[in-house]
Amino acid sequence: MITLKEVKTKSELKAFVKFPFKIYKNSPYWTPPIINQEIKTFNKKENPVFNDAEATLFLAYKNNEIVGRIAAIINWLEVNGQNQKKMRFGWFDFIDDLEVSKALFNKIETIGKAHGLEYAEGPVGFSNLDKVGVVTEGYENITTMVTWYNHPYYIKHYEAAQYIPEKVYRESRFPFTNVKPEFFHKAQELIKKRYQIKALKFTKTSDVMPYVDEMFDLFNESYASLSSFVAITDIQKAYFKKKFISFINPEYIKFIIDKNEKLIGFAIVMPSFANALQKAKGKLLPFGFKYILDAKKHSKDVNFYLIGIHPEYQNKGIHAVIFNEYYNTFKEKGIETCYRTPELEDNIAIQQIWKHFNPEVYRRRKTYKRVFDK
């Protein structure tokens, strides 16, 4: 018999966060989170997303042992502002037992119906900056710190619950040797002159901070047309600024400004922390900090996290300027492999941007959807 229990205490929340450490204990491909950071994600006093969203966490038990977990999420900005009657769910993990996943899926439907929602989609987080999708191809590759991993058996559980694929994402990589500066070096010089723009270079995080709010505004503008996009609110900007920006090498943040010093393009790249996080095993002490700092300084792999161009400047070659800046930085640091975080497979525009680098799609993931029974 499967029993579901809502997470209410600190010890239950810790058990919720630590459950994947059990089912992926022997996986060389799973990248664990930092436990304390993951716990803070669900702290309503710390994470401002709870001003506009709610999450109810559940643990599944069988024979008094935890065998599954799920976060039932409602983003009211999406529901009320966009009229998307969607029940989100994420942080969804379970043993290979259909009774367990069925019980968790049923809980999602019960909550969704109680709030007048019409369908569920997942796995997703609170917003577009969270992790997304269940892996459907490429299980034999280590995940990045900003993506979920799952065993292959997960898919049959979605199908058994009559969930159907909703969105398809692809993750790509290419060796730095594929980057040929002749594709963009001359072009970027012409583009700079034509549009009177320039690239900003940073060596200190403190120099980045004055531009961060404007960057999030540009993020909202440049991503607004994508499916299920939920804008970042002002209070969330401050949270993400504190949580992420100081964690990123300043030289990996590239901003493009126009003649009036208005931000019209940006890109954020992160060193690969996957191996460091595997060594840390969810803890910053005693050695986790050291592993992460070593990766920040010395990792030869990088992840392209975000790229955004103002709508007025899209399709005008601004990416050539950004790529030229990264080429110089990566060459100096001896970068070997470039990874791209999940991108919608039907986002042809973003695929065109990368085509000259001959990227290899090494993993696909999907979100799944189910319309609730009437």
* Residue 6: CATH number of its domain: 3.40.630.30
For residues 24 and 96, membership in a common domain is answered with yes
| pLDDT of 228 over the 70 cut | no
Q: How far apart (Å, rounded) are the C-alpha atoms in residues 228 and 120?
A: 13
Q: How far apart (Å, rounded) are the C-alpha atoms in residues 4 and 90?
A: 16
Sign of CA dihedral 322, 327, 332, 338: positive
Q: State the residue range of the domain holding 166.
A: 2-172+367-371
For residues 95 and 221, membership in a common domain is answered with no
Q: Read off φ and ψ for residue 78, nearest 5 degrees.
A: -75, -45
For residues 210 and 299, membership in a common domain is answered with yes
Q: pLDDT value at position 241?
A: 84
Contacts of 74 (CB under 8 A, 6+ apart): 53, 54, 55, 87, 88, 111, 115, 117
Per DSSP (E only), the strands in the chain are: 2-6, 53-62, 65-75, 86-94, 119-122, 134-137, 164-175, 198-200, 253-257, 263-271, 301-309, 337-344, 360-371
For residues 328 and 359, membership in a common domain is answered with yes
Burial call 51-80: b when 16+ CB within 10 Å, e when fewer: ebbebebbbbbbeeebbbbbbbbbbebbbe
Q: How far apart (Å, rounded) are the C-alpha atoms in residues 29 and 310?
A: 36
For residues 121 and 190, membership in a common domain is answered with no
Q: How far apart (Å, rounded) are the C-alpha atoms in residues 240 and 243?
A: 5
For residues 168 and 234, membership in a common domain is answered with no
For residues 149 and 181, membership in a common domain is answered with no
Q: pLDDT value at position 34?
A: 96
298-336 pLDDT, tens digit each:
999 999 999 999 999 998 999 999 999 999 999 999 999
User: What is the average pLDDT across 267-291?
Assistant: 95
Which residues is 338 bridged to in the sheet? Answer: 174, 302
For residues 146 and 266, membership in a common domain is answered with no
For residues 107 and 146, membership in a common domain is answered with yes
Tokens for 269, please give them: 């790249």
pTM for the full model? Answer: 0.93
Q: How many domains does the chain have?
A: 2
Q: Using CB atoms within 10 A of its CB, is residue 12 exposed (0-12), middle (13-18) or buried (19+)?
A: middle
User: What is the average pLDDT across 20-30?
Assistant: 96
29-73 pLDDT, tens digit each:
999 999 999 999 999 999 999 999 999 999 999 999 999 999 999
For residues 110 and 240, membership in a common domain is answered with no
- State the average pLDDT for the chain: 94
Query: Which is nearest to 166 in space by CA: 72, 263, 60, 86?
Result: 86
Largest CA distance in the chain: 69
For residues 189 and 156, membership in a common domain is answered with no
For residues 252 and 152, membership in a common domain is answered with no
Q: pLDDT value at position 50?
A: 95
Q: Read off φ and ψ for residue 71, nearest 5 degrees.
A: -110, 120
